[in-house]
Amino acid sequence: MGGGTATTRDNDAMVHGCVGTVAFRLWPPVAIGAPLFAGWVATLLWGDPFDLGAWRIPLGWLPVILFVGWNGWSLWLFSRHQTGLLPGQATHALIEEGPYRLSRNPLYVGLLALYLALALLAPTFWGLVLFPVAVLLVLWGAIRPEERFLHKRFGAQYEDYTRRVRRWL
C-alpha cells in the first residue's frame, strides 16, 4: 500500500443473496442507541446524582464534529467502492484506506463517540455510566459476526488486515 493510492480487495465473482451479507445479532444503531436511551430514561425518572457542569458542552461538541467528518469519510468510501453498508447488502470489497487504516470498525467508533457526545450534551450521567454496555453490545451484536463473515468472505486477505489494523483504534 503506497501513498495516496486506494486499496481495496475485490473478489472476482459477485456473491448474491444472503451468502454475501453479514448476519448481525443486533443492528448496530440499536446496540448503541438502547443503552443511551435507557440512560436518558433513568435521568428523567431519577435525575442525575450530580451536575455534569458547563465543561460538558464544549467537550460534547468535539466528538460531534469528529463524528461528522470520520463517519462521513467512512460512508463515502463504502459508496466509492460500491460495497454493501446496510443489512442485506452484499459485501464486494474489503476497504483498507482512510479511517480503515486506523480502525477495522471506524463507523462503530464514530457512533460510540456520538453516544458520548449526546450523553454529555443531554446531559445524562446514567447514559455515561451505560456506555460500556453499548460497547459490549456492538462488539457482541455486530463486530464479532462481521469479523466471522469477513474472514469467510476474504480469508487470508482479511487475516492480514486484522494483523495490521486494530479493532477499535
Domain assignment present for 127: yes
Domain assignment present for 12: no
Q: Which of the residues in the chain have pLDDT under 50?
A: 1-18
Domain assignment present for 101: yes
Domain assignment present for 162: yes
Domain assignment present for 152: yes
Q: Which pLDDT value is given to residue 10?
A: 42
Supply the angle between the helices 156-164 and 144-154 in degrees, to the nearest 10.
130
Q: Residue 149 in contact with residue 137, Cβ under 8 Å?
A: no
- Helix H or strand E segment including 147: helix 144-154
Range of the domain at 94: 54-169
The SS3 of residue 72 is helix
Mean pLDDT of the chain: 89
Q: Which pLDDT value is given to residue 87?
A: 73
Helices of type H across 24-130: 28-46, 56-80, 106-121, 125-129
Q: Which pLDDT value is given to residue 83?
A: 87
Q: Which pLDDT value is given to residue 85?
A: 83
Q: How big is the CA angle at 156 (ends 94 and 70), to the nearest 5 degrees?
A: 30
Written as nine digits, the cell of 94 is 474489503
Q: How many CA atoms lie within 13 A of 149 on its CB side?
A: 22
Question: 108: closest CA among 130, 134, 82, 69?
Answer: 134
In sign, the C-alpha dihedral spanning 107, 71, 168, 2 is: positive
Domain assignment present for 93: yes
Q: How many domains does the chain have?
A: 1
Q: Which pLDDT value is given to residue 120?
A: 97
The Cα 41–Cα 16 span in angstroms is 42
CATH number of the domain that 147 lies in?
A: 1.20.120.1630
Domain assignment present for 150: yes
Domain assignment present for 35: no
pTM score of the predicted model:
0.86
